[in-house]
Amino acid sequence: MSIKAELQQELEATRLAYYELLAHVPDEAFPLPSGNPAWNIGEVLYHMSIAPRMIGADVRMITSQNWIYRWLAVLVPERLFNWLNARMTRFGARHMSREFLAQSYDRANEAACQALASIPEGDFSRGLDYPDWDPMLTGEVTLERLFRYLKLHFEHHAAEIRDQLALE
């Protein structure tokens, strides 16, 4: 099986896992603390859609605009990145509902699938040195690792929610 086919399967499995998690989180739990001090449970559910939504920009930076990323690492220190990430999530989740969260994830997943489809099979080893903004995505990040991060990112935040709500 090709890397692209593996990654497509992983994206679909992660999408289904998101829906399974969402089905187990009651609406009244959305405003509860998540275990992540930046967000409540609903905001974490929304935040899970940000990485797949942004992956197209990361693909472009790795494949053709890597000079931008070098400047971003200088101009945006980790503290500012985290502040922006927290605010972007809270702002994006301001009209929260179960339907909104599902639609947000679906749009983000579709964007990730389109970005994946745009990559030639032989390019998945292309990479870029990422800044230390996210411990799960730092150092040399290849296109393959970038797409595998989407599952890791989901699993990390899903564990926060499951732990907080004592879900299996």
In the block, which residue shows the tokens 């502040």? 83
In this predicted model, what pLDDT tens digit does every residue of 117-148 receive, in sequence order? 999 999 999 998 887 777 788 788 899 999 99
pTM of the model: 0.90
Share above pLDDT 70 across residues of the chain, in percent, rounded to a whole number: 92
pLDDT at 24 over 80: yes
In this predicted model, what pLDDT tens digit does every residue of 144-167 receive, in sequence order? 999 999 999 999 999 999 999 987
Show Cβ contacts of residue 156 under 8 Å, excluding neighbours closer than 6 positions: 136
pLDDT at 65 over 90: no
Nearest to 49 by CA among 117, 116, 101: 101
User: Which amino acid type is present at position 162?
Assistant: R
pLDDT of residue 154: 97
In the block, which residue shows the tokens 């809270």? 90
pLDDT of residue 20: 97
Can you state the angle between helices 78-92 and 50-63, rounded to 10 degrees? 130
Nearest to 54 by CA among 104, 125, 4, 1: 104
Residue 136 and residue 134: Cα distance in Å, rounded?
5
Question: Selecting from 1.20.120.450, 3.50.20.10, 3.50.50.60, 1.20.1250.20, what CATH number does the domain 3-165 have?
Answer: 1.20.120.450
- The mean of the pLDDT values for the chain is 90
- Out of 43-57, 78-92, 96-110, which region has the weakest mean confidence (pLDDT)? 78-92
User: Which amino acid type is present at position 47?
Assistant: H
> Coil, helix or strand for 18?
helix
pLDDT at 111 over 90: yes
In the block, which residue shows the tokens 């905001």? 43
In this predicted model, what pLDDT tens digit does every residue of 68-89 receive, in sequence order? 666 666 666 778 877 988 999 9
Give 41-74 as a DSSP string.
HHHHHHHTTHHHHHHHHHHHHHHT-HHHHHHHHH
pLDDT of residue 80: 82
Domain boundaries, the chain: 3-165
Pair of tokens at residue 114: 């389109």
Give 118-150 as a DSSP string.
TS-GGGTT-EEEE-TT-TTS-EEEEHHHHHHHH
Q: What is the mean pLDDT of residues 53-73?
A: 79
pLDDT of residue 132: 79
